[in-house]
Chains A and B, each alone.
Chain A
Amino acid sequence: MEHKLLTEHYHRKSYSTLEGYKERGGYQTLRHALLKKPQEIVEEVKLSGLRGRGGAGFPTGVKWSFLPNNKEDRYLLCNADEGEPGTFKDRMIMEKAPHQLIEAMLISAYAIQAKKSYIYIRGEYQKAYLLLLKALEEARIEGLIGKNILDSSFSHEMDIYLGAGAYICGEETGMISSLEGKKGQPKLKPPFPAVQGYLGKPTIVNNVETLVAVIPIVKQGAKAYRQIGTERSPGTKIFSLSGDVLNPGNYELPLGYSLMDLIYDLGGGMRAGHSLKAVIPGGSSVPILTAKEAERTRLDYESLNELGTFLGSGGVIVLDDSRDMMDILSIILDFYHHESCGQCTPCREGTGWLSKLLKKVCKGMSSQRDWILIQKIAENMQGRTICALSDAAAMPAISFMKKFRNEFEQCLYENTNSSVKGVKESKHA
């Protein structure tokens, strides 16, 4: 069963307006939070065990406490550049409940004592952008943004920035670069953004869903929040189910939910006559799970780590037996080749090389040697770069090669029986 902690009222059309949101208890938590001390909220979030929902899963409260303990200007950035293939949860939040995000940001900004925050939204999210613009205007008129919010001493300004379509700007330092008006390239760490981020000032970057999850934590307390989910992965998470299922969509589930239940109970299972072949559990950059592995896994950080993969952004991509895995991998690697910022050499050259190799495989022109080579290239791209895009390209490459060797071998030059000059027919050649 779904556990609707964040998405409870999302079926109501009026929830995207200020009035509709207020009717359902909107901005009450903010009022409540402003009465507390900022440090109390940080502690509460720390206690709740909330982990970043953008992909890396870093504990949010801990991240907030990295901020230097002084009166220096600091920024809160909301990462709404949701670019991970297979993920569309933030889009739903922003389209269904823009005020929920604004409220969550105000609470978080109050907790870290930021006077200014930005929402960096993906360039393609035009609808969400317009809705958020409208919501910001409404909130400003209502006095929820500006000086002395709700008659407290807390003042805050919020702005929204539309990205230009680069995947890499979803990486926190890449986003900061882009926001600063520079080329969207991740920055070297250390220094970490919490110490030296946007414009050289301490900055906290949080995903949309992470921020929104702060509302129930502040509202009901960390203890109540920890009741949901598992011991080490508390709370709920919105999973974007896509691919070969009958009912794709966003599902808010307590962490630790069974993957099979998500696919079969909520997702309605495969099309008739097809069976499950593989699942990518957390957006295209995490290692793939075979049907057999998927059967026994649960959707939380630890269970997936045990299988060598990650919860990631929660984009569950289901693949049935009609899919050619080499084609899928080729598409994935093409994406990372296209999106690599080109800064670090292993990623810049490696993603291009992998993509070329996979095209060769799909054309049926590869040899046995390539099976090792693809893995070697990918292995040496891992952990060698400034950001994780290189790893994001390497992990699927390695896992696809290891888990679907038989499909790779079917594509070998000597095994393709195509009549057209030995070239296998491919959808994505």
Chain B
Amino acid sequence: MPKKKISCQINGHSIQVEEGSTIIQAFKKLNQRICHYCWHPGLSVSGVCRLCMVEIEGQGKLQIACNTQVQEGMKVSNQSEKVKTAVRWGLEYHLINHPLDCPICDQAGECELQDQYMEFGSYDSSMSERKVKKRKVLDLGSKIVLDTERCILCTRCVRFTDEVTKTHELGIFNRGDRSEIGCFEDKPLNNNYAINTVDICPVGALTSKHFRFKQRVWYLKTAQSICTGCSTACNTYVDYNEEGIWRVRPRFNKEVNGHWMCDKGRFLFQDMDRKKRLHMALEANDKFWNFLETKVAFEKIKTLLENKTAHFVLTGQYTNEEYEILLKHFSNSVFYIWSQEGQFPKFDKLLLREDRNPNTKTLKKLFPKIKPLTKLEKNKNEIPLLFVLGPENLIFYPDLEEKTKLFSQVKSLVWLGLVKNKFLVCKENFFQIPMKSSFEKTGTFTNYKGLEQKIDKIQSFNSQAVSVEDIIKLLKTDNFKLKEDRAYFKQNQFLNSNQKIW
């Protein structure tokens, strides 16, 4: 049954909200600015920052918007001088013991203290006394560092570990202005959702080790994408510049991931690292892998393929469109599925699912007669040419070595992957082709519950990389040219990894 709607007025604008919603939700719904730190839509109300002060008509005392429910006909405002003074002083209290080390703070540029000071504060501090000194670098585990001085004790992170992950690593130690967030020494903050606390930290207190001191956020561009780490397909923001991707953050989607994403998915972009990626196509002779242009490699593959039936090993890591075009052009081929069923723990009741592929759903739907890899083992001698559409996220394929050995037994092989497969045997007619990552192509993924989500090309990082569509064009047409992207890898592809570029 839908909840009863009630109407109220926020800063003179009328709005209807569901019964039981709080004033701050009404503010957010109307897109009216309201200053707050401790309130977060994905967490419980703690009401400690005392900044979301509003004036309710008929009530003398200012109320906090996050813990006050909307009543029928309520008139709420945060524009009066009384509220503004309260907010200004609230900010002053927040800032008196804050170290104001913005120049060396990673949060600078996306710091809510900075934003709200510019919007609601803009005063000279009256504080001339000595600030409270606290610990500056507190290691909370393998992924996160805490600066207790910058912390404004909004307790978002504590509530996150209590309510979302229910792992209870974090807590507040001590009291008064000596309070510090921390965790017990024998229980570090290492759970698979830990970096979400960095996202929800409104200031630069919690920083993740993988992004700390790497980039200034105002030099980064942000794009929307989908995580390919499991069949949940969390919505993400990708922060990148022409040097590459620097971090991935969750993007709110009520239907899929809510406000959060797991750390496993967050670190997937690290496979994009130029040191790890396959820059050009590789062709094997008896001893070495030789570099060659992708186009040249495909000319050779084309001659191998002539009038023969290609066999394909597929993984659930490609887009709907890629599977479709493959099926359209190679409808007579034999397909095998490389699945990792039973290799990972079951759904963790939050986001991370057992199936670590973003698109197994479509793969199984489009290829209903797809064979398991055991079949491949039986007829490995009869396969003239095997294409392995390898996984993008190798960490989710722990059986890579074992399965690569199996593939190596065929006569000729084309391995398509993001990074070099070091387990592949050097054998004549063996190729490795660089693939485009999910950040470099456009398409759709179908997640575990059948929801189709689109990804857009963010930026090309490797001009030699191909998508399945490119492969088909390369094989089926004569004069197809790979699009010459202004890609970062192109200029530096043969750079020694010891060489630094500034």
The residues of A with any CB-CB pair to B shorter than 8 Å are 166, 168, 183, 188, 190, 337-346, 348-353, 356-357, 360, 373, 376-377, 380, 383-386
Is B400 close to A, CB under 8 A? no
Is B259 close to A, CB under 8 A? no
Please state if B176 and A383 are interface contacts (CB–CB under 8 Å).
Answer: no
Is B296 close to A, CB under 8 A? no
Nearest A residue to B91 via CB reads A345
A340 to B93, CA, bound (A): 14
Instruction: Tell me what chain A mostly uses at the interface: helix, strand, loop, or mixed.
Output: helix
A348 to B48, CA, bound (A): 10
**Contacting residues, chain B, for A351 (C-beta < 8 A):** 176-177
Please state if A345 and B94 are interface contacts (CB–CB under 8 Å).
Answer: yes
Which residues between 344 and 380 of chain B lie within 8 Å of chain A, taking CB atoms?
none
Nearest B residue to A182 via CB reads B171
Stretch at the interface among B127-135, B194-202, B250-258, B269-277: B127-135
Is B419 close to A, CB under 8 A? no
**Contacting residues, chain B, for A385 (C-beta < 8 A):** 50
- Select which of A342, A345, A353, A384 is within 8 A of B175 by beta carbon: A342
Please state if B93 and A339 are interface contacts (CB–CB under 8 Å).
Answer: no
Please state if B62 and A349 are interface contacts (CB–CB under 8 Å).
Answer: no
Is B178 close to A, CB under 8 A? yes
A392 to B129, CA, bound (A): 22
With A343-B48, A373-B126, A384-B62 as given contacts, are A349 and B174 in contact (CB-CB < 8 Å)? no
A337 to B45, CA, bound (A): 25
Please state if B93 and A341 are interface contacts (CB–CB under 8 Å).
Answer: no
A388 vs chain B, min Cβ distance (A): 13
Number of residues of chain B lying within 8 A (CB) of chain A: 34
The residues of B with any CB-CB pair to A shorter than 8 Å are 45-51, 53, 61-62, 67, 85-86, 89-90, 93-94, 96-97, 126-127, 129-130, 132, 152-153, 171-172, 174-179
Please state if B50 and A348 are interface contacts (CB–CB under 8 Å).
Answer: no
**Contacting residues, chain A, for B175 (C-beta < 8 A):** 166, 168, 339-342
A384 to B48, CA, bound (A): 10
Please state if B177 and A352 are interface contacts (CB–CB under 8 Å).
Answer: yes
Known contacts A344-B50, A380-B86; can you find 9 more A-B pairs with CB under 8 A? A342-B178, A343-B48, A345-B153, A346-B50, A352-B132, A380-B85, A380-B93, A383-B61, A384-B53
A285 vs chain B, min Cβ distance (A): 16
A190 to B66, CA, bound (A): 12
B269 vs chain A, min Cβ distance (A): 36
Please state if B93 and A350 are interface contacts (CB–CB under 8 Å).
Answer: yes
**Contacting residues, chain A, for B179 (C-beta < 8 A):** 342, 348
A342 to B152, CA, bound (A): 10
**Contacting residues, chain A, for B89 (C-beta < 8 A):** 346, 376, 380
Please state if A339 and B86 are interface contacts (CB–CB under 8 Å).
Answer: no
With A350-B93, A352-B97, A356-B130 as given contacts, are A345 and B86 in contact (CB-CB < 8 Å)? no
**Contacting residues, chain A, for B62 (C-beta < 8 A):** 383-384
Nearest B residue to A382 via CB reads B61
- Select which of B85, B97, B126, B176 is within 8 A of A337 by beta carbon: B176
- Select which of A337, A346, A353 is within 8 A of B129 by beta carbon: A353
- Select which of A188, A341, A380 is within 8 A of B46 by beta carbon: A188
A343 to B172, CA, bound (A): 9
B487 vs chain A, min Cβ distance (A): 48
**Contacting residues, chain A, for B129 (C-beta < 8 A):** 353, 356-357, 360
B473 vs chain A, min Cβ distance (A): 61
A377 vs chain B, min Cβ distance (A): 8
Of A348, A353, A377, most buried by chain B (CB within 10 Å of CB) is A348
Nearest B residue to A357 via CB reads B129
B399 vs chain A, min Cβ distance (A): 46
**Contacting residues, chain A, for B96 (C-beta < 8 A):** 349, 353
With A190-B67, A350-B93, A384-B90 as given contacts, are A342 and B174 in contact (CB-CB < 8 Å)? yes
A346 to B92, CA, bound (A): 9
B72 vs chain A, min Cβ distance (A): 17
Nearest B residue to A372 via CB reads B126
**Contacting residues, chain B, for A373 (C-beta < 8 A):** 126
**Contacting residues, chain B, for A338 (C-beta < 8 A):** 176
With A350-B93, A373-B126, A380-B85 as given contacts, are A345 and B152 in contact (CB-CB < 8 Å)? yes
- Select which of A339, A376, A386 is within 8 A of B48 by beta carbon: A386
**Contacting residues, chain B, for A344 (C-beta < 8 A):** 47-50
A259 vs chain B, min Cβ distance (A): 29
Please state if A342 and B50 are interface contacts (CB–CB under 8 Å).
Answer: no
A344 to B177, CA, bound (A): 10
Please state if B50 and A349 are interface contacts (CB–CB under 8 Å).
Answer: no
Of A339, A342, A380, most buried by chain B (CB within 10 Å of CB) is A342
Please state if A349 and B86 are interface contacts (CB–CB under 8 Å).
Answer: no
A385 to B67, CA, bound (A): 12
**Contacting residues, chain B, for A348 (C-beta < 8 A):** 93, 153, 176-177, 179
A206 to B126, CA, bound (A): 41
**Contacting residues, chain B, for A340 (C-beta < 8 A):** 175-177
**Contacting residues, chain B, for A342 (C-beta < 8 A):** 153, 172, 174-179
B383 vs chain A, min Cβ distance (A): 64
Please state if A345 and B176 are interface contacts (CB–CB under 8 Å).
Answer: no
Nearest A residue to B85 via CB reads A380
Please state if B172 and A345 are interface contacts (CB–CB under 8 Å).
Answer: no
**Contacting residues, chain B, for A386 (C-beta < 8 A):** 47-48
A348 to B49, CA, bound (A): 10
**Contacting residues, chain A, for B85 (C-beta < 8 A):** 380
Please state if A345 and B93 are interface contacts (CB–CB under 8 Å).
Answer: yes
A376 to B46, CA, bound (A): 26
B251 vs chain A, min Cβ distance (A): 29
Please state if A384 and B50 are interface contacts (CB–CB under 8 Å).
Answer: yes
Nearest B residue to A341 via CB reads B175
- Select which of B46, B53, B172, B177 is within 8 A of A183 by beta carbon: B172
B70 vs chain A, min Cβ distance (A): 14
Nearest B residue to A373 via CB reads B126
A338 to B50, CA, bound (A): 21
Please state if A349 and B48 are interface contacts (CB–CB under 8 Å).
Answer: no
Please state if B67 and A188 are interface contacts (CB–CB under 8 Å).
Answer: yes
Please state if A349 and B177 are interface contacts (CB–CB under 8 Å).
Answer: yes
Nearest A residue to B49 via CB reads A345
With A380-B86, A385-B50 as given contacts, are A188 and B45 in contact (CB-CB < 8 Å)? yes
The list of the 7 closest CB pairs from A to B, nearest first, reads A342-B179, A380-B89, A352-B177, A349-B93, A340-B176, A356-B129, A188-B47
A380 to B82, CA, bound (A): 11
**Contacting residues, chain B, for A339 (C-beta < 8 A):** 175-176
- Select which of B48, B61, B174 is within 8 A of A345 by beta carbon: B48
A352 to B175, CA, bound (A): 12
A251 vs chain B, min Cβ distance (A): 34
A170 vs chain B, min Cβ distance (A): 14
With A188-B47, A342-B153, A386-B47 as given contacts, are A349 and B94 in contact (CB-CB < 8 Å)? yes
